[in-house]
């Protein structure tokens, strides 16, 4: 069962002015990306991952900014048949300037590093503990119905 907001809406995709919405917000998107890129260029060192976890020469790192995520983070990882890997940090925005535009300071970097680390650490944990149980499940199962995210409900990664 999918949450209601995932259900396709009849005709919505054809009638919604999505492209217009994107164009109207393009300056916000450009400012957001430029500000994160400035922080990453100045302070991020992705070469640290290879030095610490080992070489992954076909890996690329992408920070995707979720303006409406309010500080929630995700760490998808994809490996193509040719061996190329795409490591992602989907980072929510939790800090804005006086104009309400997203702002990224050095305190965002630990979260970015943490999310990229999942792409390295999770496969190790899964390989060496294939039957591991999520230690938080006894507590999470006490939440009101539907509050346990589907990923955690699989009783694996937490």
Nearest-angstrom CA–CA distance, 1 and 7:
10
Number of folded domains in the chain?
1
Q: Per-residue pLDDT tens for 92-151?
A: 888 999 999 999 999 999 989 988 888 888 887 777 776 666 666 666 666 655 545 444
**110 domain-assigned:** yes
pLDDT at 44 over 50: yes
Check whether 36 has a pLDDT greater than 90: yes
> Is the distance from CB of 134 to CB of 152 less than 8 angstroms?
yes
| Pair 89, 63: CB distance under 8 Å | yes
Q: Looking at the domain assignment, is residue 5 inside a domain?
A: no
d(CA 40, CA 46): 9
Query: CB of 87 within 8 A of CB of 119?
Result: yes
For the segment 72-99, the average pLDDT, to the nearest whole number, is 84
Residue 64 three-state SS: strand
- On whether residue 1 sits in a domain, the answer given is no
Residue 6 falls inside a structural domain:
no
Instruction: Decide if 139 is inside a domain.
Output: no
What's residue 133's pLDDT? 63
pLDDT surpassing 50 at residue 157 = no
Residue-range definition of the domain harbouring residue 81: 19-131
Residue at 14 is within a domain: no
- Using CB atoms within 10 A of its CB, is residue 70 exposed (0-12), middle (13-18) or buried (19+)? exposed
- In tens, the pLDDT along 6-33 reads 445 556 667 778 888 889 999 999 999 9
Query: Is 72 inside any structural domain?
Result: yes
- Is 54 contained in some domain? yes
pTM for the model stands at 0.69
Q: Where are the beta strands (DSSP E) in 4-101?
A: 59-66, 73-74, 77-79, 85-92
């Amino acid at each position: 069962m999918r949450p209601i907001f995932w259900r396709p809406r009849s005709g919505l995709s054809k009638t919604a002015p999505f492209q217009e919405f994107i164009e109207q917000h393009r300056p916000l998107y450009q400012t957001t990306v430029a500000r994160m890129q400035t922080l990453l260029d100045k302070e991020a060192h992705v070469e640290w991952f290879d030095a610490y976890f080992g070489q992954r020469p076909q890996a690329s790192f992408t920070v995707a900014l979720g303006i409406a995520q309010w500080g929630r983070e995700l760490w998808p990882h994809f490996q193509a048949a040719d061996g190329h890997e795409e490591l992602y940090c989907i980072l929510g925005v939790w800090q804005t300037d006086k104009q309400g535009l997203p702002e990224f300071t050095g305190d965002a970097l630990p979260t970015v590093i943490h999310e990229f680390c999942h792409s390295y650490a999770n496969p190790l944990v899964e390989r060496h503990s294939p039957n591991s149980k999520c230690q938080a499940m006894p507590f999470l199962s006490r939440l009101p119905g539907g509050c346990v995210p589907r990923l955690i409900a699989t009783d694996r990664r937490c």
